[in-house]
Amino acid sequence: MVEKNKEYVLNVINEGYEGEGIAKVEGYPIFIEGALTGEKVKVKIVKTKKTYGYGKIVEIIETVEDRVEPKCVNFKQCGGCSIQHMSYKKQLSFKLGRVKDCLSKIGGLSEDIVKDPLGMENPYRYRNKVQLPIGKVNGEVVVGFYAARSHNIINIKNCLIQDEVADKVSSLTRKWINKNHIEPSTIDGVFNPKGILRHIMIRKGFKTGEVMVVLVATTKDVPFIEEFKELIVSSIEGIKSIMLNVNPKETNVILGDKNITLYGGDTIQDYIGGFRFYISPGSFFQINPMQTKVLYNKVLEFADLTGEETVFDVYCGTGSITLFLSKKAKIVYGVEVIDEAIYNAKENAKINNVDNVKFAVGKAEEVIPALIKKGIKADVIVVDPPRKGCDIKLLDAIGQTKPKTIVYVSCDPSTLARDLKILQGYGYKTIEAQPIDMFGQTSHIECVVKLKQMI
C-alpha cells in the first residue's frame, strides 16, 4: 500500500500524456512531474487515489542523457513549458509516442501509419500571440502566466517561446499600472469586482513586423489610457494597432464582445506562403508561423487536388487553409462559427485576389447539412477543429456526404483518435498521420491525417 508523504526510490519506466514520468510500486502507477524514462528518483508521495498516485521528486539518483537544464528561470513555477527539461530530440520522441499510443489504444489503428514528427529548427521564440493575465499577488502587480493547475499568476518578465516584443509590452504595462495605481481584476487568484485590468494580448506578424496590443478591461473607462497608448506607440517598433477590449463578466473567457480602437487600425497583417492575411483581436491564426507553412503544405499534399474538386474547409477561422486549398481546387467552401473570423476570411480572399472561395458563418454541424441539401457535394473535406474535436453531428454529416478524401488537422491526439474511429464506421480508412511540432517545450502536438473512402 502506497502511503502519502512517504518517500520511495523508484525507476521511471514510461511517460504520461503531459510528459510526466511514470513509475510503479507493486503495480500501482505513480505520476512524477519532471521525471524522465530511465531515471532512478527518490520521490515523496503527495497524492494517492484508488488506482494511481502522484509523486514529487526529492532527488534524482540516476539521470539520462535526454535531460537538459531548462533555459527558463520560471520553469518550475509556470504552467506552460512542461517538458523544457527534455532535450528537443527527446521532446519529439515523446510526442511521437503519444500520438501512436492514442491512435492505437483509442482509435484502434496501427502505429505504423504514424510518421516521425516534423520538428522546428529552433524551438524557441516561435509564438506570434500571447495573452497575459494581470493581477496582484501579495500586494505586487504581476503580469505573466498562471502557475500549473491554479489561478495564481506568475510574474513573467522573459518568456522564451514568445516573441521578444511580448516581453517588452508586458514590462511597459507593469510599469504603467504601478505608476498610476490601477486595480487589476484578480487579487491573489480571486476575482476582484472593483478591478479594472484583466489581460494584455500581444500579436505580431512575423513577416511584416506589425504589432497589435490589446488591453482587456472590465470597463471602457480605463484611467490614464491615453498615457498607456502614448507609451506603447513611442516604445514599440512596428506598432500598428492598440485596442481596448471590454469584458466585465466574471469568466475564464479572455475577450469580451466590445473592441475599441485606440490607435491605428483594428487589424494587423501577416503572410503565409505568399498569401496575405488580416488578423483581428479575436480571429484564429496559427501561433507558430515557422511551422504553419509546413502544416499547410502537408494538408495540400494529403488533399491531393487536381483542380476539379469541390472542397469544404470546416472550422476555417480567418480562411488561411481555405486560401491554400484554393490554389488547386475548383471551389472551396469555408465554414466558421465566429462572425469576426469570417469577416476577416472574406477580406483575406479579396486582398489575395482569390475568387474561387465562399464563406459561411455558423455551426459546422448545421452549415454542412444545409450545403448538402442545396446539392453541393464535397469531393474533399478538411477539418481543423478546436481541442475538443469535432461535434458528433458534424461527423455524421461528413459520413453522409461521403467525400473521397478527408484531411483532419488536430491539436489533440486523444480527440483525434476518437473521431477517426467514428469516421472508420462510415467506411473510411486512415492512411497516414503526420505529427508536426507547432508547440516546442510543451506537451502539445499538431497532426495532419489523411483518410480515404473505402466503401
Query: Is 336 labeled as ligand-binding?
Result: yes
Biggest distance spanned by C-alpha atoms of the chain = 68
**Residue 190, class by beta-carbon neighbours within 10 Å (0-12 exposed, 13-18 middle, 19+ buried)?**
exposed
Q: Which stretches within 383-426 are classed as H helix?
A: 392-401, 413-424
* Amino acid of residue 7: E
The set of residues, in sequence order, having a beta carbon less than 8 Å from that of 28 and lying 6+ positions away, is 2, 51, 52, 53
- Of the candidates 191, 174, 155, the one whose C-alpha atom is nearest the C-alpha of residue 74 is 155
Q: Is residue 11 packed enough to be buried (19+ CB in 10 Å), middle (13-18) or exposed (0-12)? A: middle
101 is in an annotated binding site: no
C-alpha cell at 127: 509564438
- Residue 86 β-bridge partners: 67
d(CA 165, CA 203): 9
β-strand pairing of 7-11 with 21-25:
unpaired
The catalytic position among 78, 81, 159, 411 is 411
* Residue 291 annotated as part of some ligand binding site: no
Q: What is the CA radius of gyration of the chain?
A: 23
Element (H, E) at 436: strand 428-436
Concerning whether 411 is annotated as a catalytic residue, the answer is yes
Residue with cell 498521420: 433
Ligand-binding annotation for 286, yes or no, is yes
Annotated binding site for S-adenosyl-L-methionine: 286, 315, 336, 384
Question: Which residue ranges are tagged as binding site?
Answer: 286, 315, 336, 384
Kindly list the catalytic residues: 411
